[in-house]
Structure 1
Amino acid sequence: MLYINGEWRDTGNKLDVTNPATGEIIRTVATGGKTETKEAIESAKRAFEFWGKTTGNERSNYLFQVVQLMKEKTKELAETITLENGKPLPDATREVAGAIGYLEWYAEEAKRIYGETIPASAADKHLMVIREPVGVCAAITPWNFPLSMITRKIAPALAAGCTIVLKPADLTPLSAIKVFECFHEVGLPAGVANLVIGPAEEIGNEMTSNPDVRKITFTGSTRVGKKLIRDSSDTVKKISMELGGHAPYIVFEDADIDAAVNGILVSKFINSGQTCISTNRIYVAETVADEFSGKLAEKVSKLVIGNGLEDGVNVGPVINKVALEKVKSQVEDAVKHDGKVIAGGNVFTLNNGSGYFFEPTVIQNASDNMKITTEETFGPVAPIYTFKTEEEVVERANHPEYGLAAYCYTRDIGRGLRMMRALEFGIVGINDPAPVVVQAPFGGMKESGIGKEGGWYGLEEYLEKKFVSIFIK
């Protein structure tokens, strides 16, 4: 269903939503296109006339009501994520908690949008800077975190006083529908938040070309992000883009090897490797490479593959057949270039023959001429490279295009600080495989993105700074 101007809309056009673990259609939803998107934008524009003037306390109260309702619906929300995305239920439950965390944080921040007084250079002037909401925003979210990516964009937008039109991924629209059911249930005013589901190009073109949309926020591939940036340039929209990643994971000879191995289980195999900050390249010092590789292969071999709704499952399916074929192709290419598979390496089939599963895989003897070294891997494959010196690994780790996240394991605090400065990435985890938190900025450098999400940094993306000079004589 679409949600426009506070009403659910059935257009007659349909989209089947499939469970990637079983191949079964779990629900059919209504879709729209250019016409419905334009209506949603018009609705958001009308709503902005009053929503942008509400107090921070009023906006905060609405968000807190949604927080409470989503907490009550945690089980339902988590099951929805697992059904349409495939990730194990415990991971989905953690995603729900993260999604609620963004709403809660920005419910608090809505009351803390401050201005500034600037010392004047003349006695007869008073100078101020005030922060005002950008206006109507359009958000496009991905399938890999179908709930938390939505609230990470909508929560700061609404807290700032903006109105929004959301287009979720066609593969996972059910989580978005659940969020908007919560908005509807708490009585969020009509038009403040609108939901359109349907063809990406048709909806995206209306969002980028419509002059009433003042900001575009997108999470997804660098290729699509570049197109949205180009298409938004004619109306000079404000943009924030969280794009592709190719994260290096560096293990020095003085690292806690067991901690580094356990970190890979978090950074690489959560959500079957389908995260933008997932480790793509593991660089291990030559002197500890065999120890690290052996321990990692042993642990990875024990991960349980299966339907995310079943108890004890660690690794679910990849999202669809195209994703499965890409993972398979990268592994085959690595083997062709002398890579040695020491765990996994094959397409995995459940007893009933359904789903898109690939075994959690570790590849030793990875090299720079493999596809996996330069192509983003959205799958459960961990290639291990070796290095000799700190200078060498920094040069290899700093990707010419990607700059989203990087990880480093060392017991040497001086080295950790050097790596913090040398790694050209928006997020750096030192002995930390899960550095993302609600209150901190999330975003990349280079072709991995523009702008930040999370914390007060994310709120600033939805605010304009207006300078006011008052002549007082």
Structure 2
Amino acid sequence: MSVVRSYNHYIDGGPKKSLGQGVIARHSSAHGGHLADYAAGNQHDVDAAVAAARSAFNGEWGNSTGERRATILNRFADLLEANVEKLATIEAEEVGKPIRFARGEVMGAANLTRFAAALAWQLSGEAFTHLGPDKLGLVTREPCGVVGLITPWNFPLLTLFQKLPYALAAGCTVVLKPSEFTSGTSLEVAALATQAGVPAGVINVVTGTGDAVGSAIVAHPDVDLISFTGSTRVGKQILRAAADTVKKVALELGGKGANIVFADADIEAALDGVLLGFTFNQGQLCVAGSRLLVESSIAAAFVEQLAARAGRLRIGLPLNEDTDIASLIHQGHVESLVRHVKTAQEEGATLVAGGKRLGGEFENGFYMAPTVMTDVRPDMRLFRDEVFGPVLSVTTFDTADEAVSLANDTEYGLANGVWTKDIDKALTVSRCLRSGTVFVNTYLEGAPQMPLGGFKQSGLGRENGLEGLHEYTELKSTVIKTGSRAPVLGHTM
């Protein structure tokens, strides 16, 4: 067993002991071992972090050039890559995910940082020269100020870097609350940012629970924007709380994505994509393809092959290089998944594969085999609820219109997938799907340039892309009176 990692908050450029009492211990969801201890923060810690962030914003960082911010962000990306093994190991252990996927997330964070660095060079405005001979109009973007970032436990590093580098590129300063289950990488990258040249107070991390720390950040009168990734339930609470100070809120919330597989699809590719869509990160992702909508004529054969492939996935410890599926986040979560399966069976669904918590060699952890359930109707909870685990519901359709109707029959609208060789069908169906992202003949592929966000109750605003940078800016209109009339053509001055 490795040495237990012990952390304080990270405030004003370095570790800082908590002003509260208590420690949050993180134990492995894979084997039960003690991994790390985090400070249990409180309102006083948040006040200290916000004060440091405000001072840094009012000082050099809020007034720094795009060139300087870009240079520092690129150094930051270099350090992320240089520390890939350390960060990936912490991420894999604390989340319970396969380490080879965790490495990919570190490299993805570095790519997002480089993209944000490029955007820092080109944060532009507009000039309006047609307001009359004695007026000029300027529209400029300014950093919105101190931003509160609240990130989840499933992708603590990647979700952070869909926010942090854009906020820094815009000239904002940050107070971050990571999940109390997975705070390690957030604290480590804050130290790397300082090493890269980010000034003291620009990035501050306060660890603790949502009730003690998250709520204090949201309610703080000197925090100008909240960017939150997590459940729709908590997102609604944040919206209500933020109303008291009328601060900007950006939310990336839950999802109930559908993979629509038509009979004319490349079946091999669709099988791989659907499998990835509901098992990646043990199905613990908001853009999971947790619903399979499959054309009736191929449904039986497709599900049979899919269940067989799911059964061949390698279940193991997070740090094993050949692991495909590792552990779920905690005991309560795996118990919730088992209840969802039982409820679906009681409502008439058929269990085809999985459905139970794994014992034997996995009894000290929280493991569940990939689960496939057929005969799922739209009125069932499994069709409608965000289960957040490796559980797939299967529903059949006969026409494209029916498939679209089923896919849109949800309060969520984050991501969907379409599988067909017919490009006209792909484009038509994609236009009709009410989701912020549509994957065609692939799933879970993206790029830093592509905005991420949801329709309906899947959120507000966008991350990544130029839109991700604009989330952290305010628009200002400036009207300038020149003081004298411009000369009229044909007349001397």
The residue that corresponds to 2:463 in the other structure is 453
Superposed counterparts of 1:123-134, under 5 Å = 123-134=133-144
Q: How does 1:1-12 map to 2 (within 5 A)?
A: 1-11=8-18
Identity %: 37
Equivalent residue for 1:366, pick from 372, 376, 379: 376
8 A contact 1:428–1:435 mirrored in 2: no
- Distance in 1 separating the partners of 2:359 and 2:464: 38
Structure 2 equivalent of residue 356 of structure 1: 366
Query: Which aligned pairs between 1:302-381 and structure 2 lie closer than 5 A?
Result: 302-351=312-361, 353-381=363-391
1:237 counterpart = 2:247: yes
Structure 2 residue 109 is the aligned partner of structure 1 residue 86: no
Deviations 1:316-371 (A, max 9, x none): 11111111011101111222233222222221124262100001111122222322
Q: What SS does the corresponding residue of 1:282 show, helix, strand or coil?
A: strand
Measure, in 1, the Cα distance between the counterparts of 2:279 and 2:240: 34
The answer to whether the aligner puts 1:171 opposite 2:178 as a matched pair is: no
For structure 1, which segment, 87-96 or 428-437, has the greater mean C-alpha deviation from structure 2 after superposition?
428-437
The answer to whether the 8 Å contact 1:403/1:424 transfers is: yes
Alignment check: 8 A CA contact 1:337 1:369 kept: no
1:124-158, CA deviations, whole angstroms, 9 ceiling, x for partnerless residues?
11111111100000000000001111121111001
Q: Structure 1: 5+ residue runs without aligned partners? A: none
Secondary structure at the aligned position of 2:314 is classed as: coil
Q: CA RMSD in A?
A: 1.2
Bigger drift between 302-311 and 166-175 goes to 302-311
Give the residue type in structure 1 aligned to 2:151: T
State yes or no: 1:470 paired with 2:465.
no
Determine whether 1:186 maps to 2:193: no
Conservation of the 8 A alpha-carbon contact between 1:167 and 1:195: yes
Does 2:45 match 1:36? yes
Whole-angstrom distance in 1 between the partners of 2:411 and 2:111 = 31
In structure 1, which of residues 397, 404, 423 is the aligned counterpart of residue 407 of structure 2? 397
Kindly indicate whether the alpha-carbon contact (under 8 Å) linking 2:38 and 2:208 is maintained by their aligned counterparts in 1.
Answer: no
Q: Which amino acid aligns with 1:8?
A: P
Separation of aligned partners in 2, 1:79 and 1:464: 38
- Aligned with 2:270 (options 260, 267, 273): 260
Q: Secondary structure at the match of 1:234?
A: coil
Q: What's the CA shift for 1:439?
A: 1.2
Give runs of aligned pairs for residues 121-160 of structure 1, distance below 5 A. 121-160=131-170
The residue type paired with residue 290 of structure 2 is N
Counterpart of 2:34, as a letter, is I
Q: Which amino acid aligns with 2:13?
A: G
Contact 2:150 2:178 in 1 (8 A): yes
Letter in 1 for 2:11: I
Q: Which residue of 2 aligns with 1:271?
A: 281
Residue 377 of structure 1 and its aligned partner are, at CA, apart by 1.4
Q: Does the alignment pair 1:23 with 2:32?
A: yes
Cα deviation per residue 1:270-303 (whole Å; 9 max; x = unaligned)?
Answer: 1000000001211000001012111101111101
1:443 aligns with one of 441, 444, 453:
453
Query: In structure 2, the residue corresponding to 1:270 is in which secondary structure?
Result: helix
Q: Displacement, 1:208?
A: 2.1
Q: Which amino acid aligns with 2:40?
A: T
- Counterparts of 1:147 and 1:121, CA distance in 2: 47
Moved more, 393-402 or 209-218: 393-402
Distance 1:142 1:195 in 2: 14
Determine the structure 2 residue equivalent to 1:282. 292
- Pair member with larger Rg: 2
Task: Say whether the 8 Å CA contact 2:277–2:290 is kept in structure 1.
Answer: no
Letter aligned with residue 425 of structure 1: S
Instruction: Write the distance in 1 (CA, Å) between the matches of 2:76 and 2:347.
Output: 52
- Deviation for aligned residue 1:206: 2.1
Among candidates 295, 299, 309, match of residue 305 of structure 2: 295
Aligned residue number for residue 73 of structure 1: 83
Query: 1:367-394 CA deviation, whole Å, 9 max, x = no partner?
Result: 2232211110111111211011111121
TM-score (norm 2): 0.94
> Among 216, 231, 238, which residue is 1:206 paired with?
216
What stretches of structure 2 of length at least 5 have no aligned partner? Answer: 1-7, 485-493
